[in-house]
Chains A and B, each alone.
Chain A
């Protein structure tokens, strides 16, 4: 079993839709949580960190449930430019190692 699991998708949604991505992690020693975005043939870029209290950045909302070891990302009012692969990432503070999920592909259509 992979340490970080995501639904690989693809998710095909129309512009303006709300889409939710889920992620689970297996190592309770994980300390920090992130969503990264990766465009086709490009490097991953940090989208947002995820905090226990939940956090929002514009159209993006991230939630963390430590008890269930579950992370989510909600995208409201999807734009064509949101099309990308979304990577769920956990980190154990020791060594700074990032552990990536396999990514969820999102395609937003006109």
Chain B
């Protein structure tokens, strides 16, 4: 039981490049979300999904796309990376009625 798995753990991009951060969970949880964390700050919600085929925007969605074709996977796409997207990204999932989020170990992205 791996929980929440994020890949890659580290990535360096050039401005304008695109990439996808992968998130997979084996807990069969409906709710998944992506957060970003900048130095000295708390986590901010980017996008979330309450089930397969359903996504919605969080606090800071600009520059990011998501999709949810399966319960297990919730990839985060950066279409044209910008230095302002340099951050640590966390994926999380939550089971029905539990109120407890399980987080991945994070993906550290640097955009030059």
Decide if A and B are genuine partners. no
